[in-house]
Amino acid sequence: MYWLLNSSIGRKLIMSISGIFLVLFLLFHMSMNLTLVFSAEAYDMICEFLGANWYAVAATLVLAAGVVVHIGYATWLTLQNQKARGADKYASSNQTKTEWAAKNMYVLGLIILLGLVIHLWNFWYKMQFAELLHLEEAVSKGSGLVIGLFSNPLYSLIYILWLVAITLHLTHGIWSGFQTLGWNNKTWFPRLKFIANIVSTVIMIGFAVVPVFFTIRGLFN
């Protein structure tokens, strides 16, 4: 336990594991969202199942803990790296072949966090949280809320830009996480980068289908 909390490798390991956990959640959430394109009734059934009950609340708390851990360790490592580089942190980045996303992971993370706050306010707060506390804001059908928001082209555009930030973050984060776990030899490195590109692209397209579909439908209705 001391090694995990007090060594750079240990902290990277925790951040990698929490990141992989969050990627799995994104894949689940994406699959859930896609059901709305095909059936509002099926989507509402899933929302009801994941509503204000003990297992949904427990899963939300675990997910929130994963986000806090990931952001906390990312901040810690970023500050450590800045301190270690000292004056060299202002040196030209042309000396390395580091990709843009790799050099701006923390900035991308902050953009994602800001988008997450807006997302939670518009969806989670008005659905699960409001239902849990029996607030007047609680919506009876999640499908109506989602369709209403994504019928607004401006909101859909902001949402898609947020997805772009998530994709850039994931593209580097997925293979970097597995690299931290030890899969960093010459054979696996290109494979992991390919897998990271595929997974992040699938997540972005899967999430983007919903706002694009309902924005176009709203424009022609």
Domain spans of the chain? 2-84+101-220
Task: Report d(CA 198, CA 70) in Å as an integer.
Answer: 22
Please tell me the predicted confidence (pLDDT) of residue 43: 92
Structural tokens at position 115: 């988008």
pLDDT tens for 68-87 read: 887 777 777 767 766 665 54
* CATH no. for 2-84+101-220: 1.20.1300.10
Low-confidence ranges of the chain (pLDDT < 50): 87-98
Long-range contacts of 153-161 (CB under 8 A, 24+ apart): 153/215, 153/218, 153/219, 155/211, 156/211, 156/212, 156/214, 156/215, 158/115, 158/118, 159/115, 159/119, 159/211, 160/208, 160/211, 160/212
Q: Tell me what pLDDT residue 94 has.
A: 42
Q: Around 72, how many Cα atoms within 13 Å sit in the side-chain half-sphere? A: 10
Give the separation between CA 166 and CA 178, rounded to whole angstroms: 18
Q: Mean pLDDT, the chain, as a whole number?
A: 79
